[in-house]
Structure 1
Amino acid sequence: MAATPPERSGIRVSNADRDAVIDQLRDAAAEGRIELDELEERVELALKARTFADLAPLTADLPVSLPVQSAPPLTLKGGMHGARRVGAWEVPERIEAHGGMGGVRIDFTRTEVRLPEVTVEAYGEMAGVTVVVPDGWAVDTTGFDPGTGGLKDRTTPDRAPGTPLIRLTGAGGMAGVAIRHPGRWERRKLRTNPAK
């Protein structure tokens, strides 16, 4: 919490204000900035705080954490001729795919993803969206609305250590969305030509 302006120091704090300070203290302890016994002491004081003047000293010696700006999503639009993201490509946290009339294909089989989770927001529209994930990657489709076209989920629930979770959201539209592991031909191509 930043230094409290004098005009606010006597104002009473809410539970949300106390919780925000406690979160900042816990983050500081996780980063090694304060010891666990000091964390307990400061949390206890935060819970008893009545005004901003009571809270301010608890975080005065800690850096102010700035909100993390998330990168814009990768947007793929099928349009008339379709869109594809295949081969080795940099995977962002969020991907938005609109099937349009030409369809969209997103292939993760040659990518390296260091993120714990990737959200794919897919809208099947007229031609559909196909998502191909490597073996060992897990998929969560609970936030997806199948619509008229539906959802074809041909993935296995087994998640290998160190692999991302693909969180599929969006709607099936008329053509639907398919998410699967590589087929026989794709596996053969990956074995015989792994670099491309």
Structure 2
Amino acid sequence: MSSVPENLPSRVSEVDRDSAVERLQEAFAEGLIPQEEMDARLHVALTATTPGELASVLASLPDEAVGPIVEVNTAGGLIHRRGSWQVPRTFRVNSRMGKVYLDLSRATIEYPVVNIELHLGYGWARIIVPSDAVVNYEQLNAEWKQPSYRAPQRSGASGARIRISGTMGHGRLWIKHGRS
């Protein structure tokens, strides 16, 4: 019979570590922490063995869901935003057979990171982003056709980070940069 202490602190899983690392990277991208601080926090997060160690690297960061969430749920039709409009932190679209046209090129974007979540069964989406925006659509699951996007030739874009995620069934996503 072996004696095992009953009050051992719980261990941190790889999922917990990965989540903390992703949050730190987002905070850095949003300009909340400088490079040196991110490097130090990443080291602690990657070597953490207890939940308390992970909590310490995330403690001073604001909640990642800060900012408005706009959700549009529809069976079909056209969801259309263009011109001068206020872009929320998260814009979520759920549509079985709809079309989405979002033009952010002249919109007011207050957040360093904007999340656009598309959940479309059938239909298409066109998203026009500001000329200096950084686009990431790696979290988008396109079942039928892959998104159409050509990154600008210039390097070091300094604008908002536009993250596009979700699922596209039988439809397609086109992303392009607006003119300066």
Matched residue, 2:50: 16
- Match of 2:93? 97
Q: Any residues of structure 2 matched to 1:75-90 within 5 Å, and which? A: 75-77=71-73, 79-90=75-86
Higher fraction of strand = 2
The aligned residue for residue 147 of structure 1 is: 143
Alpha-carbon distance in structure 1 between the residues aligned to 2:120 and 2:170:
7
Structure 2 counterpart of 1:127 = 123
Q: CA RMSD in A?
A: 3.2
The 2-side partners of 1:66 and 1:170 are apart by: 24
Distance in 1, matches of 2:72 and 2:97, equals 13
Instruction: Note the 1:24-103 alignment, pairs <5 A.
Output: 27=60, 70-71=66-67, 73-77=69-73, 79-103=75-99
CA shift in 2, pair 1:20/1:125, >3 Å: closer
Unaligned runs of 5+ in 2: 1-6, 11-48
Q: Does structure 2 retain, via aligned residues, the 8 Å contact 1:97–1:129? A: no
Question: Counterpart of 2:19?
Answer: none
Q: Alignment identity in percent? A: 20
Distance 2:56 2:62 in 1: 16
> Is 1:156 the equivalent of 2:166?
no
Give the number of aligned pairs. 135
Normalising by structure 1, we get a TM-score of 0.55
- What amino acid sits opposite 1:137 in the alignment? A
Structure 2 distance, partners of 1:177, 1:134, is 17
> How big is each residue's C-alpha offset from its partner over 1:6-42, in whole Å with a ceiling of 9 and x where there is no partner?
xxxxx77665354267448x84xxxxxxxxxxxxxxx
Letter in structure 2 aligned against 1:104: V
Deviation of the 1:66 alpha carbon? 8.9
Name the CA distance, whole Å, in 1 between partners of 2:64 and 2:167: 28
Unpaired stretches in structure 1, ≥5 consecutive residues: 1-10, 28-64, 191-196
Deviation at 1:67, TM superposition (A): 5.7
Residue identity in the other structure for 1:143: Q
- Which residue in 2 is equivalent to 1:181? 177
Rounded to whole Å, the distance in 1 between the matches of 2:66 and 2:163 is 17
Please tell me whether the aligned partners of residues 78 and 98 of structure 2 are also in contact (alpha carbons under 8 angstroms).
yes
Aligned residue number for residue 134 of structure 2: 138
* Kept after mapping to 1: 8 A contact 2:98/2:120: no
